[in-house]
Amino acid sequence: MKAAVLRAPNQPLEIEEVQISKPGPREVLVRPVAAGVCHSDLHFLDGSYPYPLPTILGHESAGVVEEVGADVTYVKKGDHVITCLSAFCGHCEHCITGHLSLCQSPEVSRDAEEEPRLHKGDESIHQFLNLSSFAELMLIHEHALVKMREDMPMDRAALIGCSTTTGVGAVFHTAGVEPGSKVAVLGCGGVGLAAINGAAIAGAGMIIAVDMVDAKLEIAKSLGATHTINPGKVDAVGEVIELTQGGCHYTFEAIGLKSTTEQAWKMLGPGGTATVVGMIPVGTMVELHGVDFLAEKKIQGSNMGSNRFRVDMPRFVDFYLNGKLHLDQMISKHIKLHDVNDALNALKTGEEARHIIMFD
């Protein structure tokens, strides 16, 4: 099969012929139909998050089941599925307390002494985040996918596999946004736009979108933003404090920067909660003014929207088909696998939301 292989940090992905193993017990072979090119892939490409190499990037995808291994009962050949990097074991402390997205169990991967799922001749290829979706086939644990209804378009479904679940889930699960509350979202990429859409579904009274790109702010308006701020033109923190008359109940940092994380904190009113959704580079320290804690302000992280994806993703599919979740505006362009490096480079400019790889 063809796959986009990362062999060294800050180097273009190479389209190579790679071999894939047969499904073992509890494994599923999936033929992806669509895969989103996510900013998180860029973090691993540029070395912000070191990862064993070589690997096949990609973690936001939807496709069709090709084959199932022994003991798999959840899906069968021909089922339409969405994949998720939050593969869960189902019985560790995190899983049984309802925090499946925090599961780190090694049992969803193959043991070191087993044949690797991905290889090129005698060379092992590391699977990326339990998935590796920039490839014509994926071999994954059955707990890394969810069945979906067949009338859901695959390119929209792929978005639900990461950015939608991350952004909407941060609003619903991690933060628990209440109806009528005042919300600010910093960063209007795929995840930030999903958070804005989620805040609108949750009934937030004021939703402030913050981004340097005016075109993204226009998209944010179509997804539910009531106000927009371009921090390249005005003081974003001051504008938010003035608009909200004292600060937000909830803020969401969806970029992954020290500066915007600190701004999200400063935009809070007393008792407010800042949720950091963006992937801040390893080693980066964030500074907060200690006296602000006397106002009972809170800051927290969110991993993949604190999801329960087997429950959440089918609901998000229904939300899209019922007109509540607006995924059409998220897609900037449909591309082929050989265009993946162009899509990754486009992410660096911040001008576009999502490129979707469509497989033949």
pLDDT at residue 112, rounded to an integer? 87
Percentage of the chain lying above the pLDDT 90 cut: 94
Q: Is the pLDDT of residue 232 over 80?
A: yes
pLDDT in tens, 93-121: 999 999 999 999 999 999 988 999 999 99
The answer for residues whose C-beta is within 8 angstroms of residue 181's C-beta and 6 or more apart is 204, 205, 206, 248, 249, 250
Is the predicted pLDDT of residue 209 greater than 90, yes or no?
yes
Nearest residue to 302 (alpha-carbon basis) of 326, 327, 274: 274
What region does 164 belong to: left with phi over 0, alpha with psi -120 to 50, or beta?
alpha
313-339 average pLDDT score: 96
Predicted confidence band of residue 280 (pLDDT cuts 50, 70, 90): very high
Spatial separation of the C-alpha atoms in residues 148 and 63, rounded to whole Å: 10
What is the C-alpha separation between 63 and 158, in angstroms, rounded? 8
Residue 210's alpha-carbon distances to 221, 255, 311, in angstroms, are: 11, 11, 30
What is the per-residue pLDDT for 352?
Answer: 73
| More confident: 164 or 347 | 164
Provide mean pLDDT across the span 10-21: 97
Domains 2-147+327-358 and 167-303 share a fold: no
188 pLDDT higher than 90: yes
The answer to whether the pTM exceeds 0.85 is yes
pLDDT at 95: 96
Highest CATH level, class, for 2-147+327-358: alpha beta
Rounded Cα distance, 27 and 83, in Å: 13
CATH placement of domain 167-303 = 3.40.50.720
**pLDDT class of 349 with cuts at 50, 70, 90:** confident
Task: Read off the pLDDT of each residue in 309-333 and give the average, rounded to a whole number.
Answer: 96
Range 181-189 average pLDDT: 97
Give the model confidence (pLDDT) of 122-178 as tens digits. Answer: 999 999 999 999 999 999 999 999 999 999 999 999 999 999 999 999 999 999 999
Q: Where are the domains of the chain?
A: 2-147+327-358, 167-303
pLDDT tens digit sequence for 288-307:
999 999 999 999 999 999 99
**pLDDT score at 37:** 96
The letter for the amino acid at 155 is: D
Q: For 241, which DSSP code?
A: H
pLDDT of residue 331: 93
Tokens 């792929």, residue?
158
Structure tokens given for 204? 């937030």
Q: Chain-wide mean pLDDT for the chain? A: 96
Mean predicted confidence (pLDDT) in 174-203: 97
Q: What percent of the chain has pLDDT over 70?
A: 100
CB burial string 231-253: b at 16+ within 10 A, e below: beeeebbebbbebbeebbbbbbb
pLDDT at 360: 77
Q: What is the pLDDT of residue 100?
A: 94
